[in-house]
Amino acid sequence: MEDSFPFPVARIGLIGGGQLGRMMVKAAKRLGCTCVVLDPVLGSPAGQVAGHQIVGDYSDPAKLRELAESCDVVTFELEDIDTAPLLALEAEGHRIFPRPQLLATIQDKYLQKVFLRDAGIPTSAFIDMPSPDPEAFAEFGYPLVQKARRGGYDGRGVAVMPTAAAYPQHLPVAGYVERFVAADKELAVLVARNASGDCRVYPTVEMRFHADGNVLDYLFAPASVSADVAARAEALAVRTVEAMEGIGVFGVEMFLDAEGGLLVNEVAPRTHNSGHHTIEACVTDQFEQHLRAILDLPLGETRQLSPATMVNLLGEPGYRGRPIIAGLAATLAIPGVCLHIYGKAVTKPGRKMGHVTIIDDSVEAACEKASRVKQTIRILGDSKI
Ligand SMILES: Nc1ncnc2c1ncn2[C@@H]1O[C@H](COP(=O)(O)OP(=O)(O)OP(=O)(O)O)[C@@H](O)[C@H]1O
Ligand SMILES: [Mg+2]
Protein backbone atom coordinates (compact mmCIF):
# COMPACT_ATOMS: atom_id res chain seq x y z
CA MET A 1 0.00 0.00 0.00
CA GLU A 2 1.19 3.49 -0.88
CA ASP A 3 2.36 5.07 2.38
CA SER A 4 3.08 8.68 1.43
CA PHE A 5 0.43 11.27 2.14
CA PRO A 6 0.65 14.83 0.85
CA PHE A 7 -0.77 17.39 3.27
CA PRO A 8 -3.64 17.48 3.94
CA VAL A 9 -3.69 13.76 4.65
CA ALA A 10 -7.41 13.85 3.86
CA ARG A 11 -10.15 16.41 3.53
CA ILE A 12 -12.98 15.34 5.82
CA GLY A 13 -16.54 16.48 5.16
CA LEU A 14 -18.55 16.49 8.35
CA ILE A 15 -22.34 16.63 8.44
CA GLY A 16 -23.34 18.30 11.71
CA GLY A 17 -21.43 20.94 13.63
CA GLY A 18 -22.15 20.01 17.25
CA GLN A 19 -19.83 18.93 20.04
CA LEU A 20 -19.11 15.49 18.63
CA GLY A 21 -18.04 17.16 15.41
CA ARG A 22 -15.96 19.71 17.28
CA MET A 23 -13.97 16.99 19.05
CA MET A 24 -13.59 15.13 15.76
CA VAL A 25 -12.25 18.21 14.00
CA LYS A 26 -9.63 18.63 16.71
CA ALA A 27 -8.54 15.02 16.23
CA ALA A 28 -8.52 15.50 12.46
CA LYS A 29 -6.18 18.46 12.71
CA ARG A 30 -3.81 16.44 14.85
CA LEU A 31 -3.69 13.78 12.13
CA GLY A 32 -2.96 16.35 9.43
CA CYS A 33 -6.45 16.36 7.95
CA THR A 34 -8.62 19.37 7.13
CA CYS A 35 -12.37 19.56 7.68
CA VAL A 36 -15.41 21.21 6.17
CA VAL A 37 -18.52 21.24 8.33
CA LEU A 38 -22.12 21.37 7.13
CA ASP A 39 -24.42 22.94 9.72
CA PRO A 40 -27.36 25.37 9.54
CA VAL A 41 -25.88 27.69 12.20
CA LEU A 42 -22.84 29.73 11.20
CA GLY A 43 -20.09 29.46 13.79
CA SER A 44 -21.26 26.04 15.01
CA PRO A 45 -19.08 24.33 17.66
CA ALA A 46 -17.34 22.24 14.98
CA GLY A 47 -17.34 25.01 12.38
CA GLN A 48 -15.37 27.32 14.72
CA VAL A 49 -12.58 24.78 14.99
CA ALA A 50 -12.65 23.60 11.37
CA GLY A 51 -12.46 27.13 10.00
CA HIS A 52 -14.55 26.03 7.01
CA GLN A 53 -18.29 25.72 7.22
CA ILE A 54 -21.01 25.33 4.64
CA VAL A 55 -24.14 26.90 6.09
CA GLY A 56 -27.12 24.76 5.27
CA ASP A 57 -29.50 22.06 6.32
CA TYR A 58 -28.09 18.56 6.99
CA SER A 59 -30.42 17.10 4.40
CA ASP A 60 -30.16 19.77 1.66
CA PRO A 61 -29.11 17.82 -1.47
CA ALA A 62 -27.25 20.79 -3.01
CA LYS A 63 -25.30 21.48 0.20
CA LEU A 64 -24.51 17.80 0.66
CA ARG A 65 -23.19 17.72 -2.90
CA GLU A 66 -21.07 20.81 -2.27
CA LEU A 67 -19.66 19.10 0.84
CA ALA A 68 -18.94 15.79 -0.90
CA GLU A 69 -17.30 17.51 -3.86
CA SER A 70 -14.97 19.53 -1.67
CA CYS A 71 -13.80 16.54 0.41
CA ASP A 72 -12.19 13.11 0.11
CA VAL A 73 -14.51 11.39 2.57
CA VAL A 74 -17.79 12.40 4.20
CA THR A 75 -18.96 11.42 7.67
CA PHE A 76 -21.59 12.61 10.15
CA GLU A 77 -22.01 13.27 13.83
CA LEU A 78 -25.80 12.90 13.98
CA GLU A 79 -28.34 10.43 12.68
CA ASP A 80 -31.28 12.49 11.54
CA ILE A 81 -30.13 13.09 7.96
CA ASP A 82 -32.09 12.32 4.80
CA THR A 83 -30.25 9.30 3.37
CA ALA A 84 -31.59 9.65 -0.21
CA PRO A 85 -29.08 12.37 -1.23
CA LEU A 86 -26.30 10.46 0.52
CA LEU A 87 -27.14 7.25 -1.36
CA ALA A 88 -27.13 9.20 -4.64
CA LEU A 89 -23.73 10.75 -3.89
CA GLU A 90 -22.31 7.38 -2.88
CA ALA A 91 -23.59 5.85 -6.14
CA GLU A 92 -21.57 8.52 -7.98
CA GLY A 93 -18.44 7.35 -6.20
CA HIS A 94 -18.22 9.66 -3.19
CA ARG A 95 -16.92 7.97 -0.07
CA ILE A 96 -19.37 8.27 2.82
CA PHE A 97 -18.83 6.38 6.09
CA PRO A 98 -20.65 4.87 7.89
CA ARG A 99 -22.38 3.75 4.69
CA PRO A 100 -25.67 5.59 3.99
CA GLN A 101 -27.56 2.31 3.70
CA LEU A 102 -26.52 1.39 7.23
CA LEU A 103 -27.47 4.87 8.46
CA ALA A 104 -30.92 4.34 6.91
CA THR A 105 -31.33 1.11 8.88
CA ILE A 106 -30.07 2.52 12.17
CA GLN A 107 -31.87 5.89 12.07
CA ASP A 108 -35.20 4.07 11.84
CA LYS A 109 -35.29 2.43 15.25
CA TYR A 110 -37.80 -0.17 14.09
CA LEU A 111 -35.63 -1.25 11.15
CA GLN A 112 -32.67 -1.34 13.51
CA LYS A 113 -34.52 -3.69 15.86
CA VAL A 114 -35.50 -5.92 12.95
CA PHE A 115 -31.86 -5.97 11.84
CA LEU A 116 -30.62 -6.92 15.31
CA ARG A 117 -33.21 -9.67 15.69
CA ASP A 118 -32.54 -11.10 12.23
CA ALA A 119 -28.78 -11.04 12.85
CA GLY A 120 -29.27 -13.09 16.00
CA ILE A 121 -28.15 -10.27 18.30
CA PRO A 122 -29.95 -10.53 21.66
CA THR A 123 -32.37 -7.61 22.02
CA SER A 124 -35.71 -7.20 23.82
CA ALA A 125 -38.82 -8.60 22.11
CA PHE A 126 -40.83 -6.05 20.14
CA ILE A 127 -43.72 -5.57 17.73
CA ASP A 128 -44.43 -2.96 15.10
CA MET A 129 -46.91 -0.27 16.19
CA PRO A 130 -47.55 2.02 13.20
CA SER A 131 -50.41 3.72 15.02
CA PRO A 132 -50.71 3.47 18.80
CA ASP A 133 -53.72 1.55 20.02
CA PRO A 134 -54.57 0.71 23.67
CA GLU A 135 -55.74 -2.80 22.87
CA ALA A 136 -52.60 -3.67 20.93
CA PHE A 137 -50.48 -2.33 23.79
CA ALA A 138 -52.44 -4.42 26.31
CA GLU A 139 -52.17 -7.50 24.13
CA PHE A 140 -48.38 -7.09 23.92
CA GLY A 141 -48.40 -6.71 27.69
CA TYR A 142 -47.10 -4.24 30.29
CA PRO A 143 -44.55 -3.14 31.43
CA LEU A 144 -43.51 -2.02 27.95
CA VAL A 145 -41.54 0.71 26.25
CA GLN A 146 -42.92 2.55 23.23
CA LYS A 147 -40.41 4.13 20.87
CA ALA A 148 -40.78 6.46 17.91
CA ARG A 149 -39.22 5.18 14.69
CA ARG A 150 -37.47 8.42 13.82
CA GLY A 151 -35.95 11.51 15.31
CA GLY A 152 -35.61 10.53 18.98
CA TYR A 153 -32.53 11.33 21.03
CA ASP A 154 -31.66 11.75 24.69
CA GLY A 155 -34.80 9.86 25.61
CA ARG A 156 -37.15 11.97 23.52
CA GLY A 157 -39.12 9.49 21.49
CA VAL A 158 -39.16 6.92 24.29
CA ALA A 159 -42.15 6.29 26.59
CA VAL A 160 -41.72 3.84 29.47
CA MET A 161 -45.09 2.41 30.52
CA PRO A 162 -45.21 0.32 33.68
CA THR A 163 -48.94 -0.41 33.45
CA ALA A 164 -51.96 0.29 31.24
CA ALA A 165 -52.63 3.37 33.39
CA ALA A 166 -49.68 5.04 31.61
CA TYR A 167 -51.26 4.62 28.18
CA PRO A 168 -52.39 8.29 28.01
CA GLN A 169 -48.69 9.27 28.03
CA HIS A 170 -48.00 7.32 24.84
CA LEU A 171 -46.31 8.99 21.88
CA PRO A 172 -48.82 9.80 19.12
CA VAL A 173 -46.43 8.68 16.39
CA ALA A 174 -45.46 5.66 14.30
CA GLY A 175 -43.20 3.40 16.26
CA TYR A 176 -43.01 0.06 17.99
CA VAL A 177 -43.36 -1.37 21.46
CA GLU A 178 -40.78 -3.49 23.17
CA ARG A 179 -40.47 -5.44 26.37
CA PHE A 180 -39.38 -3.38 29.37
CA VAL A 181 -36.02 -4.68 30.59
CA ALA A 182 -35.52 -4.67 34.35
CA ALA A 183 -31.90 -3.72 33.90
CA ASP A 184 -29.34 -3.95 36.64
CA LYS A 185 -27.03 -1.70 34.69
CA GLU A 186 -26.83 0.11 31.38
CA LEU A 187 -23.55 -0.54 29.63
CA ALA A 188 -22.02 0.92 26.50
CA VAL A 189 -19.22 -0.42 24.35
CA LEU A 190 -17.46 1.54 21.62
CA VAL A 191 -16.31 -0.42 18.61
CA ALA A 192 -14.22 0.84 15.71
CA ARG A 193 -14.11 -1.01 12.42
CA ASN A 194 -12.27 0.10 9.30
CA ALA A 195 -12.96 -0.68 5.65
CA SER A 196 -10.45 -3.55 5.75
CA GLY A 197 -12.60 -5.15 8.42
CA ASP A 198 -10.18 -4.68 11.33
CA CYS A 199 -11.97 -4.13 14.63
CA ARG A 200 -10.97 -2.59 17.94
CA VAL A 201 -13.10 -2.44 21.05
CA TYR A 202 -12.86 -0.10 24.04
CA PRO A 203 -13.31 -1.24 27.64
CA THR A 204 -16.99 -1.47 28.65
CA VAL A 205 -18.41 1.56 30.45
CA GLU A 206 -21.48 1.99 32.61
CA MET A 207 -23.96 4.81 32.17
CA ARG A 208 -26.20 6.18 34.89
CA PHE A 209 -28.93 8.48 33.72
CA HIS A 210 -30.58 11.50 35.24
CA ALA A 211 -34.09 10.65 36.46
CA ASP A 212 -35.59 13.39 34.29
CA GLY A 213 -34.27 14.37 30.90
CA ASN A 214 -32.54 11.05 30.23
CA VAL A 215 -29.15 12.63 29.83
CA LEU A 216 -26.12 10.76 31.08
CA ASP A 217 -25.57 11.63 34.71
CA TYR A 218 -22.51 9.59 35.64
CA LEU A 219 -20.16 7.49 33.62
CA PHE A 220 -18.13 4.66 35.11
CA ALA A 221 -15.12 3.96 32.96
CA PRO A 222 -14.42 1.12 33.18
CA ALA A 223 -17.79 -0.31 34.25
CA SER A 224 -17.96 -1.93 37.68
CA VAL A 225 -18.81 -5.38 36.32
CA SER A 226 -16.98 -8.69 36.45
CA ALA A 227 -14.28 -9.41 33.91
CA ASP A 228 -16.61 -12.04 32.44
CA VAL A 229 -19.46 -9.57 31.92
CA ALA A 230 -17.10 -6.99 30.40
CA ALA A 231 -15.63 -9.57 28.02
CA ARG A 232 -19.09 -10.75 26.94
CA ALA A 233 -20.27 -7.15 26.43
CA GLU A 234 -17.24 -6.37 24.29
CA ALA A 235 -17.66 -9.55 22.23
CA LEU A 236 -21.35 -8.78 21.71
CA ALA A 237 -20.58 -5.23 20.61
CA VAL A 238 -18.00 -6.44 18.10
CA ARG A 239 -20.42 -9.07 16.78
CA THR A 240 -23.09 -6.37 16.36
CA VAL A 241 -20.85 -3.98 14.41
CA GLU A 242 -19.48 -6.84 12.30
CA ALA A 243 -23.02 -7.97 11.47
CA MET A 244 -23.68 -4.40 10.30
CA GLU A 245 -20.40 -4.32 8.38
CA GLY A 246 -20.05 -0.91 9.98
CA ILE A 247 -17.20 1.40 9.03
CA GLY A 248 -16.38 4.02 11.65
CA VAL A 249 -16.91 4.18 15.39
CA PHE A 250 -20.16 2.80 16.83
CA GLY A 251 -21.59 3.11 20.31
CA VAL A 252 -23.39 -0.09 21.30
CA GLU A 253 -25.78 0.46 24.22
CA MET A 254 -26.77 -2.59 26.26
CA PHE A 255 -28.77 -3.70 29.26
CA LEU A 256 -27.28 -6.05 31.84
CA ASP A 257 -30.04 -7.94 33.63
CA ALA A 258 -29.97 -9.40 37.14
CA GLU A 259 -28.99 -12.85 35.79
CA GLY A 260 -25.99 -11.44 33.94
CA GLY A 261 -27.70 -11.56 30.54
CA LEU A 262 -26.91 -8.88 27.96
CA LEU A 263 -29.39 -7.32 25.54
CA VAL A 264 -28.46 -4.74 22.93
CA ASN A 265 -30.66 -1.64 23.34
CA GLU A 266 -29.50 0.39 20.37
CA VAL A 267 -26.51 1.22 18.24
CA ALA A 268 -25.29 4.75 17.53
CA PRO A 269 -23.54 4.96 14.12
CA ARG A 270 -21.10 7.56 15.43
CA THR A 271 -18.93 8.54 18.34
CA HIS A 272 -20.80 8.37 21.60
CA ASN A 273 -21.43 10.50 24.67
CA SER A 274 -20.19 7.59 26.79
CA GLY A 275 -16.78 7.75 25.11
CA HIS A 276 -15.65 11.30 25.82
CA HIS A 277 -13.26 10.09 28.54
CA THR A 278 -11.26 8.29 25.83
CA ILE A 279 -9.70 11.70 24.99
CA GLU A 280 -7.74 11.74 28.24
CA ALA A 281 -8.03 8.18 29.51
CA CYS A 282 -7.26 5.96 26.49
CA VAL A 283 -4.29 5.64 24.16
CA THR A 284 -6.42 6.54 21.13
CA ASP A 285 -9.55 8.63 21.60
CA GLN A 286 -12.82 7.74 19.92
CA PHE A 287 -12.67 10.73 17.55
CA GLU A 288 -9.23 9.95 16.16
CA GLN A 289 -10.25 6.30 16.01
CA HIS A 290 -13.29 7.19 13.91
CA LEU A 291 -11.08 9.06 11.45
CA ARG A 292 -8.61 6.18 11.25
CA ALA A 293 -11.54 3.84 10.57
CA ILE A 294 -13.14 5.90 7.79
CA LEU A 295 -9.75 6.58 6.17
CA ASP A 296 -8.96 2.84 6.34
CA LEU A 297 -5.81 3.51 8.35
CA PRO A 298 -4.54 1.17 11.07
CA LEU A 299 -6.75 1.44 14.15
CA GLY A 300 -5.19 2.72 17.35
CA GLU A 301 -4.77 1.07 20.69
CA THR A 302 -7.92 1.29 22.84
CA ARG A 303 -6.23 0.50 26.15
CA GLN A 304 -7.39 2.62 29.04
CA LEU A 305 -4.54 4.26 30.92
CA SER A 306 -6.48 5.51 33.92
CA PRO A 307 -9.89 5.09 35.54
CA ALA A 308 -12.18 7.96 34.61
CA THR A 309 -15.62 9.42 34.85
CA MET A 310 -17.39 12.13 32.91
CA VAL A 311 -20.16 14.58 33.65
CA ASN A 312 -22.13 16.48 31.07
CA LEU A 313 -22.46 20.21 31.69
CA LEU A 314 -26.06 21.11 30.97
CA GLY A 315 -27.60 24.55 30.67
CA GLU A 316 -28.94 25.47 34.12
CA PRO A 317 -32.75 25.65 34.37
CA GLY A 318 -33.97 29.23 34.50
CA TYR A 319 -31.34 30.69 32.21
CA ARG A 320 -30.98 31.45 28.53
CA GLY A 321 -28.76 33.48 26.29
CA ARG A 322 -25.02 33.92 26.27
CA PRO A 323 -23.40 31.30 28.51
CA ILE A 324 -21.79 32.30 31.78
CA ILE A 325 -19.58 29.61 33.29
CA ALA A 326 -19.84 29.96 37.06
CA GLY A 327 -17.28 28.15 39.21
CA LEU A 328 -14.81 27.61 36.38
CA ALA A 329 -11.64 28.37 38.34
CA ALA A 330 -12.75 26.35 41.37
CA THR A 331 -13.43 23.41 39.05
CA LEU A 332 -10.04 23.63 37.40
CA ALA A 333 -8.47 23.66 40.87
CA ILE A 334 -9.65 20.08 41.47
CA PRO A 335 -6.85 17.68 40.49
CA GLY A 336 -7.62 15.36 37.58
CA VAL A 337 -10.28 17.63 36.07
CA CYS A 338 -10.32 18.08 32.27
CA LEU A 339 -12.78 20.74 31.15
CA HIS A 340 -14.41 20.84 27.72
CA ILE A 341 -16.60 23.80 26.77
CA TYR A 342 -18.36 23.30 23.45
CA GLY A 343 -18.43 26.88 22.24
CA LYS A 344 -22.20 27.12 21.83
CA ALA A 345 -23.21 30.76 21.55
CA VAL A 346 -26.47 30.30 23.43
CA THR A 347 -27.47 28.24 26.47
CA LYS A 348 -30.91 26.93 27.33
CA PRO A 349 -32.13 24.64 30.10
CA GLY A 350 -30.78 21.11 29.66
CA ARG A 351 -28.67 21.88 26.60
CA LYS A 352 -25.33 20.07 26.47
CA MET A 353 -22.85 22.95 26.86
CA GLY A 354 -19.73 21.02 27.78
CA HIS A 355 -18.41 18.13 29.80
CA VAL A 356 -15.81 17.40 32.43
CA THR A 357 -13.71 14.25 32.44
CA ILE A 358 -12.15 13.32 35.76
CA ILE A 359 -9.14 11.07 35.96
CA ASP A 360 -8.24 9.38 39.23
CA ASP A 361 -6.73 6.23 40.72
CA SER A 362 -10.13 4.54 40.92
CA VAL A 363 -13.52 5.15 39.30
CA GLU A 364 -14.99 5.64 42.78
CA ALA A 365 -12.49 8.38 43.60
CA ALA A 366 -13.15 10.00 40.23
CA CYS A 367 -16.92 9.88 40.85
CA GLU A 368 -16.49 11.51 44.24
CA LYS A 369 -14.69 14.37 42.58
CA ALA A 370 -17.39 14.42 39.91
CA SER A 371 -20.04 15.16 42.48
CA ARG A 372 -17.89 18.03 43.74
CA VAL A 373 -17.54 19.25 40.16
CA LYS A 374 -21.31 19.13 39.74
CA GLN A 375 -21.81 21.29 42.80
CA THR A 376 -19.13 23.71 41.70
CA ILE A 377 -19.65 24.46 38.03
CA ARG A 378 -22.86 25.86 36.58
CA ILE A 379 -23.70 26.99 33.07
CA LEU A 380 -25.84 30.05 33.56
CA GLY A 381 -27.03 32.46 30.89
CA ASP A 382 -27.13 36.23 30.59
CA SER A 383 -30.93 36.27 30.63
CA LYS A 384 -33.19 34.80 33.29
CA ILE A 385 -36.41 33.05 32.36
N1 LIG B 1 -36.73 -1.81 26.78
C2 LIG B 1 -36.34 -0.98 27.75
N3 LIG B 1 -36.44 -1.35 29.04
C4 LIG B 1 -36.08 -0.52 30.04
N5 LIG B 1 -35.61 0.74 29.83
C6 LIG B 1 -35.48 1.17 28.58
C7 LIG B 1 -35.84 0.34 27.46
N8 LIG B 1 -35.61 1.04 26.33
C9 LIG B 1 -35.12 2.24 26.71
N10 LIG B 1 -35.05 2.32 28.06
C11 LIG B 1 -34.55 3.49 28.83
O12 LIG B 1 -34.71 4.67 28.06
C13 LIG B 1 -33.43 5.22 27.71
C14 LIG B 1 -33.47 5.84 26.32
O15 LIG B 1 -33.79 4.84 25.37
P16 LIG B 1 -33.01 4.77 23.99
O17 LIG B 1 -31.57 4.65 24.26
O18 LIG B 1 -33.65 3.71 23.16
O19 LIG B 1 -33.43 6.17 23.38
P20 LIG B 1 -32.64 7.39 22.78
O21 LIG B 1 -33.55 8.54 22.86
O22 LIG B 1 -32.14 7.02 21.46
O23 LIG B 1 -31.50 7.57 23.75
P24 LIG B 1 -30.13 8.31 23.68
O25 LIG B 1 -30.14 9.33 22.58
O26 LIG B 1 -30.07 8.91 25.05
O27 LIG B 1 -29.16 7.21 23.49
C28 LIG B 1 -32.45 4.08 27.86
O29 LIG B 1 -31.15 4.53 28.11
C30 LIG B 1 -33.06 3.35 29.05
O31 LIG B 1 -32.73 3.99 30.27
MG1 LIG C 1 -29.87 5.43 23.90
pLDDT for residue 156 = 80
The predicted-structure confidence for 91-146, as pLDDT tens digits, reads as follows: 999 999 999 999 999 999 999 999 999 999 999 999 999 999 999 999 999 999 99
Measured CA to CA in angstroms, residue 261 lies from 177, 248, 286 at distances of 21, 27, 27
DSSP letter assigned to residue 79: S
Please say if the pLDDT value at position 284 is more than 70.
yes
Please report, for the chain, the start and end positions of each structural domain, with discontinuous segments joined by +.
11-96, 125-179, 183-384
- Closest C-alpha residue for ligand 1 atom 12: 155
Q: Label residue 18 left, alpha or beta by phi (over 0 means left) and psi (-120 to 50 means alpha).
A: beta
Express as a percent the part of the chain with pLDDT over 90.
94
Domain spanning 11-96, CATH architecture: 3-Layer(aba) Sandwich (3.40)
Q: Does domain 125-179 have CATH number 2.40.70.10?
A: no
pLDDT-based confidence at residue 215 (cuts at 50, 70, 90): low
pLDDT in tens, 35-80: 999 999 999 999 999 999 999 999 999 999 999 999 999 999 999 9
pLDDT at position 213 = 58
Q: What is the mean pLDDT of the chain?
A: 96
DSSP state, residue 225: S
User: What pLDDT, on the 0 to 100 scale, is given for residue 2?
Assistant: 80
pLDDT at 151 over 90: no
Ligand 1 pocket: which of 145, 255, 272 to mutate (most atoms within 8 A of CB): 145
For 95, 148, 177, 290, the CA distances from 173, given in Å and listed in that order, are 34, 6, 12, 33
How far apart are the CA of 119 and the centre of ligand 1, in A?
21
- Ligand 1 pocket (Cβ < 6 Å) reads 124, 145, 147, 152-158, 160, 178, 180-181, 183, 186, 209, 214, 253, 265-266
The ligand that comes nearest to the alpha carbon of residue 155 is 1
Q: What residues contact residue 143 under an 8 Å CB cut-off, 6+ apart?
A: 160, 161, 162, 163, 180
Residue 217 scores a pLDDT above 90: no
Give pTM, 2 decimals.
0.96
The minimum-distance atom of ligand 1 relative to the CA of 147 is 18
Q: What's the number of CA atoms in the CB half-sphere (13 Å) around residue 339?
A: 19
Q: Is 213 exposed, middle or buried (0-12, 13-18, 19+ CB in 10 A)?
A: middle
CATH, range 183-384: 3.30.470.20
